[in-house]
Structure 1
Amino acid sequence: MVVLESLDYYFIFGFFTITLIIGLVVAKKSGKSSSEYFLSGRSMPWWLLGISMVATTFSTDTPNLVTDIVRNQGVSGNWVWWAFLVTGLLTVFVYAKLWRKSGLSTDIEFYELRYGGKPAKFLRGFRAIYLGVIFNILAMSAVTLAAIKIGQIMLGISPLETIAWAGLVTVIFSTVGGFKGVVYTDFILFFAAMIGGVGAAYYCINLPEVGGMSGLMNHPNIADKLNIIPDLSDPDLVITLLIIPLAVQWWSAWYPGAEPGGGGYIAQRMLAAKNENHAIGATFFFNILHYALRPWPWILVALSSLIVFPDIASIQQAFPNVAESKLGHDLAYSAMLTKLPSGLLGLVLASLIAAYMSTISTHLNWGSSYVVNDFYARYINPQASQKRLVNVGRISTVLLMTISAGLALLLTNALQLFNIILMFGAGTGLIFLLRWFWWRINAWSEIAAMISSGIISILFNFTALGSFFFGIEDQAGRFTEGILPSWSTYPMVVLITSSVWLAVTFLTKPEKKSTLLNFYKRTAPGGPGWKRIINYANSRGKNLQDPNKDWNVPAGILATLTGCIVIYGSLFGTGYWIYGRYPEAILATLLVFISTFFLIKLWAKIKTKVF
């Protein structure tokens, strides 16, 4: 526990005050209609939406998660989420303009645009509750869990006190301010979070126990943790940390903020953009900040923590009041922050509060949009007035916060929940990529993928069957050697799930031609996957655009690969400059400049002309 001084309190209460003021100022306009409350009238610029996206994905659990990964698997362990850059850039250069052209209010509404009949109606309603309530509550619980740990380590306050203070302010401004309040506060909270993160990293590296960058780089505790690329001499490590994420995970998994083809709160921001180009610009700006700019301050604190707190026992010894159920390597980040001096401590605490508030507020508004637009207004009260819809949104916001806070009290660590969410979405991602470009996918395809992914994940991860095949823990906590290597669990879930939904696709009837034609007219995805539908329409005098004419998806895929070089090069180059490995740093930097030049050329082929 640390002792806060007056300057620290000024920073903390200053951010609380600013946040509440913004929420109250925009409350009147946000309450005019559900479109204003959830999408701010579709008038947001790219730079504001991009910063809002990155602020949302920077939460109190994010540095804890990165710390947990680095302490257990080293820097290269972060490939488990770095691999999602590929799908992130596909969203930028291929899917962003499709989402904006669709004119939907939420990405869940997509189901009744792309599919028809009772299966589409079921999908929309079920996914609204499944993602907007169940998965959303899980994600918010992880964020609140991190806030609880920070409160225990740094302030010595109980979990209930943390939830009462941080949760109350967040739910107030989220409820009254709507989407516009969330985005405006995200802008301020992002800069607070970044300044706090960089300041904490600089101070922690220069602690006497660490001894600056030279002391950090040469300390035996981190000698095997520094590699950005996994040790190529260890096949299991390379497969687990590099090959599976880059070859399978990025396209096959559903995870909030990194959905293949875009979705969730990323789609919400694309739908709120001024036009298609602003949607593309927002998502690209987000990916640059998320992957290239933000990770290194957290990584440096995590590496420093291995010197100051080399194991969990040392953390427990330093903080004996922390509940045993909350002990884990992720606590090391909060433990390091207790070393900060007055002023900087207040700024960092304010930045963590900012990170918590930006993420929770987004999840509350996003989840509430599903409840209102895709469940209540669709199934309960289709004739509801705009005022009533806004009020239902506000009530659901409060309920989502309350339930997620209760669940957070039962969790142990952020990595635990990350792996559960990742596994339950395994195998469904390919459908989200192909459903825009292949007419044959139907509602039953998505239903089969959703159900089979959940069942197979449970069988392989939480039963004796999984222990037998993959050598993982069974329900009794026993660990046994499986007949297959443990790293094959995820690919097997993906393979079986993908096989199931592909089989169901061909065994069930395709969607009606009228549904498919309506979808194509509205979004014009193009490509050979729609050729049969285009030929059908043209044969009946309904002249539609040639699916291959001006189809810029190949240019989008090339831009995705080039963008990966730009951002990965920036990520690696920054690391090598920090490590003092100057030849590699110079090479990575040159690669970034060259690939940026080519990416600018490709942008001219992708962007939409706006008159």
Structure 2
Amino acid sequence: MPFETLDYLVVAGYVVLMIVVAWIAKTRGQETLDDFFAGGKNLPWWLVGVSMVATTFAADTPLAITGLVAKQGIAGNWFWWNWMISGVVTVFIYAKLWKRADVLTDVEFIELRYGGKPASFLRGFRALYFAFPFNCIIMGWVTVGMAKILTVVTGADQWIAILVLYGLIAIYIAISGLWGVIVTDFVQFILAMIGTIALAYFAVDHVGGLAELKTQLSNSVGFDVLSFNPFTNPEIAVTTALIWVGMNWWAAWYPGAEPGGGGYIAQRMFSAKDERNAVGGTLLFNILMYAVRPWPWILVGLVALVVFPNLSDPETGYPLMMLEVLPVGWMGLLMVAFLSAFVSTISTQLNWGTSYVVNDFYKRFMKTPEEFESKEKAQKHYVLVSRIATLLMAALGVGVSYFFDTVSGGWEFILSLSAGIGGVLMLRWFWWRINAWSEITAMIAAMIGAVFSNQMGYEFAWSMIYTTAFSTIAWLIATFISKPESDETLKKFYAKVHPMGNWKRFSDGIPSPDGLIPSLINIAMSLLAIFFFLYGLGQIFFFNIGTGIAFLIGGCIFVWAVVRRI
């Protein structure tokens, strides 16, 4: 059903909401970089966690999952479900460490962990590398997803609409900073979930209910599309399934699922009140991301398989279902849901990317605080530069969008380009021998490996294997042939962060307050809880309600036990 007046009024109401939040954020004050990029570092766990998941709830994600379901069934989602492992490890191993580090960005952490010119070079290089190529690629594929939705649903010229959206978002973020991003994230996540659940309901009802959907899928699809098992799926190579489950979660850097934390996930941890709120917020994020969000998208993807079985671009099945089943008013609400998801992700990417450019490059190498008459003047100048950089980065994001045709293609490109760097990012907290050259070598080797495997025509799984092996061997060699960091640097790092691991000679007899065994128990229980929720809902929808309820109860018990231990 095309857009009607009521739908436009619903969208207009959302725009008014954004304006109000931006105005409140401006009156609240954004006088320092801590305010602009970390929300003042005093946010509660529930706001931190919802903001994390809202950021990953981009307009591109439902389309990508619809495409995965069409090609590989429910099991195809293990392409990204495997990240729950790194996510939960971040909760109980790394969240408290990031909060103790007390930095503004994860790139600033580099000069806390390492010292000398190699650390300075790595900080500057990584700031620009992740702010521009990586960040703009992410904004590019998110924009492609939103462009497809706008084209299918409204018939408008997609790039004019995207330019208008980017302009509004960039101005909004330049005014409101991270506090405005996080507050609107909370509202946007609620709107997005209401919209996607409503679409799932109307879609399933359109084909006669869940039982009828299951029957039609078994009659029209040539494999068990409802199976969770990627190893028995004929559409998924065993090698690919092994890469998903055994390598992706620790080997490659991906936004929202960085090995050892990092990126905007670390940014949200920095914004939390304290360690407990950082841990609680990150746990909430992982439960919402992997256990709550996926099923409305999956259900719509399954219905699209039945209603639109021969689409040349399966990702468009999602917006086509919107046109097919949504009544007047609901179409406007779902467009608000997608706008919310798009705004949430792009606003975070702009704020996060700008934090690297300003805090870790401009402030560090171009105009240092010592050049100003006072600290207040320095902070005022840096906030102004941050606003300008936000607008420029938005323009770059639009430009990069032209180079992507599919959303999942962007996902695979990022994973391939960063394959192998995850190991050093995780181990640098616990192994004193890792130095700045370890990270520099890992990043360069990953780029070389990704380009080489692409030129050789390797498919995704083999590209990941080759690049991960090549970059891991390279950074290990670099670690052992280069000098370790100075004792002074390592003692300073340990004194501030107190990590577990091989730090005895630098600890001055002060043990780490963290315990490995309790952390591993929390990780195991949390992973079981998330999987029980995910699998239990699948059982309720398509197989056995009693079994599904039992799994949900088991998941609740595990969550209760974990929360008591935090």
Is the TM value for this pair above 0.5?
yes
Alignment correspondent of 1:359: 345
In 1, the alpha carbon distance for the partners of 2:342 and 2:116 equals 40
In 2, the alpha carbon distance for the partners of 1:91 and 1:363 equals 20
Q: Which one-letter code corresponds to 2:327 in the other structure?
A: P
Q: Which one-letter code corresponds to 2:320 in the other structure?
A: A
Contact preservation (8 Å) 2:127, 2:356: yes
Alignment correspondent of 2:214: 217
CA distance 1:123–1:513, change in 2 (3 Å): same
Alignment correspondent of 1:396: 389
Q: Which one-letter code corresponds to 1:428 in the other structure?
A: I
Deviation at 1:233, TM superposition (A): 7.2
Q: Which one-letter code corresponds to 1:240 in the other structure?
A: T
Alignment correspondent of 2:5: 6
Contact preservation (8 Å) 2:101, 2:496: yes
In 1, the alpha carbon distance for the partners of 2:537 and 2:167 equals 38
Secondary structure at the counterpart of residue 218 of structure 1: helix
- The range that moved more, 80-89 or 218-227, is 218-227
In 2, the alpha carbon distance for the partners of 1:236 and 1:19 equals 42
In 1, the alpha carbon distance for the partners of 2:500 and 2:31 equals 37
1:431-486 deviation per Cα after TM superposition (whole angstroms, max 9, x unaligned): 1111001100000000110000110111112x1xx23xx4x4xxxxxxxxxxxxx7
1:381-422 deviation per Cα after TM superposition (whole angstroms, max 9, x unaligned): 003511111111111111111111122133201011100001
Q: Give me the TM-score of the superposition, normalised by structure 1.
A: 0.88
Deviation at 1:46, TM superposition (A): 0.5
- Give the alignment of 1:312-391 within 5 angstroms: 312-313=311-312, 328-339=313-324, 340-383=326-369, 385-391=378-384
1:59-112 deviation per Cα after TM superposition (whole angstroms, max 9, x unaligned): 100101111111111110110110000110111111101100111011100110
In 2, the alpha carbon distance for the partners of 1:491 and 1:562 equals 29
Contact preservation (8 Å) 1:20, 1:172: no
Alignment correspondent of 1:413: 406
Secondary structure at the counterpart of residue 436 of structure 1: coil
Of the three residues 452, 460, 463, the one matched with 1:459 is 452
Of the three residues 546, 555, 560, the one matched with 2:518 is 555
Q: Which one-letter code corresponds to 1:505 in the other structure?
A: T
In 2, the alpha carbon distance for the partners of 1:186 and 1:593 equals 26
In 2, the alpha carbon distance for the partners of 1:546 and 1:507 equals 29
Alignment correspondent of 2:470: 496
What is the root-mean-square deviation in Å for CA atoms of aligned residues? 1.7
Q: Which one-letter code corresponds to 2:215 in the other structure?
A: N
Alignment correspondent of 2:538: 575
Alignment correspondent of 1:596: 559
Alignment correspondent of 1:162: 161
In 1, the alpha carbon distance for the partners of 2:204 and 2:179 equals 38
In 2, the alpha carbon distance for the partners of 1:90 and 1:267 equals 13
Of the three residues 417, 424, 432, the one matched with 2:417 is 424
Deviation at 1:240, TM superposition (A): 1.5
Q: Which one-letter code corresponds to 1:201 in the other structure?
A: A
Contact preservation (8 Å) 2:69, 2:301: yes
CA distance 1:454–1:562, change in 2 (3 Å): same
Alignment correspondent of 1:540: none
CA distance 1:48–1:233, change in 2 (3 Å): closer
Deviation at 1:487, TM superposition (A): 3.5
- The range that moved more, 88-97 or 486-495, is 486-495
- Give the alignment of 1:84-99 within 5 angstroms: 84-99=83-98
- Give the alignment of 1:19-418 within 5 angstroms: 19-207=18-206, 210-219=207-216, 220-222=219-221, 224-232=224-232, 237-241=237-241, 243-313=242-312, 328-339=313-324, 340-383=326-369, 385-418=378-411
Of the three residues 564, 570, 584, the one matched with 2:527 is 564
- The range that moved more, 4-13 or 420-429, is 4-13
Q: Which one-letter code corresponds to 1:423 in the other structure?
A: S
Deviation at 1:235, TM superposition (A): 10
In 2, the alpha carbon distance for the partners of 1:546 and 1:580 equals 50
Contact preservation (8 Å) 2:72, 2:236: no
Number of aligned pairs? 555
Contact preservation (8 Å) 1:74, 1:226: yes
In 2, the alpha carbon distance for the partners of 1:193 and 1:419 equals 25
Contact preservation (8 Å) 1:159, 1:409: no
In 2, the alpha carbon distance for the partners of 1:390 and 1:356 equals 24
Deviation at 1:151, TM superposition (A): 1.1
Contact preservation (8 Å) 1:92, 1:284: yes
In 1, the alpha carbon distance for the partners of 2:40 and 2:256 equals 22
Deviation at 1:587, TM superposition (A): 4.3
1:117-152 deviation per Cα after TM superposition (whole angstroms, max 9, x unaligned): 111001100111111222111101111111111111
CA distance 1:600–1:188, change in 2 (3 Å): closer
Q: Which one-letter code corresponds to 2:314 in the other structure?
A: H
Structure 2 unaligned regions, length at least 5: 373-377
Deviation at 1:163, TM superposition (A): 1.2
In 2, the alpha carbon distance for the partners of 1:257 and 1:357 equals 16
Secondary structure at the counterpart of residue 107 of structure 2: helix
Contact preservation (8 Å) 1:46, 1:278: yes
In 1, the alpha carbon distance for the partners of 2:552 and 2:384 equals 51
Alignment correspondent of 1:515: 489
CA distance 1:573–1:239, change in 2 (3 Å): farther
Secondary structure at the counterpart of residue 338 of structure 2: helix
Q: Give me the TM-score of the superposition, normalised by structure 2.
A: 0.95
Deviation at 1:168, TM superposition (A): 2.3
Show structure 1 runs of 4+ deviating over 6 A.
none
